[in-house]
Amino acid sequence: MSKQRLFTPGPTPVPEETLLELAKPVTYHRTAEQKAVFAEVVADLQYVYQTKNSVVVLTSSGTGGMEAAVSNTLAPGNKAILLTAGRWGERWKGILKAFGVETVLVEAAYGKAIPPADLEAALAKHPDTVAVFGTLSETSTGVGHDVATFGKIVAKTPALLVIDGISGLGAMECRTDDWNIDICVSGSQKALMMPPGLAYVAVSDKAWKRIEGNTASRSFYFDLKRYKAKIPENDTPFTPANTLIKAQRISLKRIRAEGIENLWARHALMANAARAAVKAMNLENFAERPNNALTVITVPAAIDGTAFLGKLEKQYGYKLANGQDNMKGKIWRLSHMGYLDPFDILGALSAIELVLVEMGHPFEAGAGVAAAQRVLAEGVRK
Ligand SMILES: *Cc1c(COP(=O)(O)O)cnc(C)c1O
């Protein structure tokens, strides 16, 4: 049986020292020790977010953080602009609909990114917009958005910029304060080297003002005001997932030790190597404006994309992700997030080549791995 290797864009592999922390006995949560851990985790998250804003810790998957962002800032009938270019933009759409928000759609096709000019035009047309929703790393297509420019545009208006950074944060450059992101949501199981279970929400002063004035908000468990009230005590309003928070502390230590710029550079190196390999394997990169959290490969017409992934997993232990919904069988998604390094990527590329050979794809075996290796060598040479 082959060794199991996880390359899905969430969940992602967890470092050994974090797994050991997770094996420890469960402790009571209202203690001075737990509060110290909580304070450390929040401070390290602020570092990852590059923010001085408060970071709220929720016991939920990333979508819970997204729901909190919608339900706290908007009232039914309020207007929002949604920038959507994939399945995770559609997740925002579903949540906005559930909360009765009037949503103006700014769309791009799968594989494409929203041009900032489209946002500018939509805001000019809808000056009563309360919030703009977007996605940093659109994990369903591998596209990265120009959130820095979105931020410049939105900051000139009374609207809030709310970003789903669930797979982007910790994998690609994200400067919450410099880029004027009012609410940035992330989750533990993507680049933050943890199992699923925690969502993080960074909230700016501009957003807190809106949240505090929004008396029509309908939320109890995700009422962010309750979390804000507990921040000075380094505590949470409800029982926190304290074992996960203690484990997140360990993974964040690893991230801090690496340094955020080095961490972005490591993801860029893996992504550049993988993209070069894709071309050398006579395949195509799906994303027009790719981000460094994952590489998305277009399945060639002659290959059964789902059968390919089955072989890769069964024969070589490499678990990649299929396309979601109508993209199933059309793309393969190779994660670079979190606890992965360039040598993990070389191994994945090697296994991909073997299945391509087996399925009769026309290319020169070894060319993909060689192209990736050349990218790595370039980094050493300079
Ligand atoms: C994974 C992911 C989500 C969904 O998060 P859950 O933790 O499954 O709720 C949302 N947005 C993006 C961009 C993601 O990658």
Q: List, as one string, the DSSP characters of 316-375.
A: H-EEPEEPPGGGTTTEEEEE--SS--HHHHHHHHHHHHHHHHHTT--S-TTHHHHHHHHH
Is 83 in a helix, a strand, or coil?
Answer: strand
Q: What percent of the chain has pLDDT over 70?
A: 99
| Per-residue pLDDT at 379 | 86
Question: Best of 166, 186, 292, 324 to mutate for ligand 1, by most ligand atoms within 8 A of CB?
Answer: 166
Mean pLDDT of 138-162: 98
pLDDT at position 268 is 98
206-235 pLDDT, tens per residue?
999 999 999 988 899 999 999 999 999 999
Residue 105 has pLDDT above 90, yes or no: yes
Is 91 close to ligand 1, i.e. is its CB under 6 Å away? Answer: yes
pLDDT band at 251 (very low <50, low <70, confident <90, very high): very high
**Whole-number average pLDDT of the chain:** 97
Beta carbon of 166 within 6 Å of any ligand 1 atom: yes
Q: pLDDT digits over 350-379, tens only? A: 999 999 999 999 999 999 999 999 999 998
**Would the CB of 86 count as within 6 Å of ligand 1?**
no
For residue 41, how far is its CA from the centre of ligand 1 (angstroms)? 21
Atom of ligand 1 nearest to the CA of 88: 11
What's residue 217's pLDDT? 83
Tokens of 95: 């949540």
- Give per-residue pLDDT as tens, 78-102: 999 999 999 999 999 999 999 999 9
Specify the pLDDT at position 163. Answer: 99
Ligand 1 centroid from CA 276, angstroms:
27
All structural domains of the chain, each given as residue ranges with its CATH number in brackets, are: 5-10+259-381 (3.90.1150.10), 16-258 (3.40.640.10)
Cβ atoms of residues 170 and 12 within 8 Å: no
State mean pLDDT over 176-181. 98
- 199 Cα nearest atom in ligand 1: 7
Which DSSP string do the residues of 23-64 spell out, in sequence order? Answer: TSPP--SSSHHHHHHHHHHHHHHHHHHT-SSEEEEEES-HHH
pLDDT at 100: 97
- Which residue is closest in CA terms to ligand 1's atom 5? 62
Count Cβ atoms within 10 A of the Cβ of residue 246 and give its class: 0-12 exposed, 13-18 middle, 19 or more buried: buried
Q: 65 in ligand 1 pocket by Cβ < 6 Å? A: no
- Asked if residue 188 has its Cβ within 6 Å of ligand 1, the reply is no
Ligand 1 centroid – CA 1 distance (Å): 31
281 φ/ψ angles, rounded to the nearest 5 degrees: -90, 10
Any ligand 1 atom below 6 A from CB of 292: no
pLDDT at residue 381 in the model: 86
Q: Return the pLDDT at 341.
A: 98
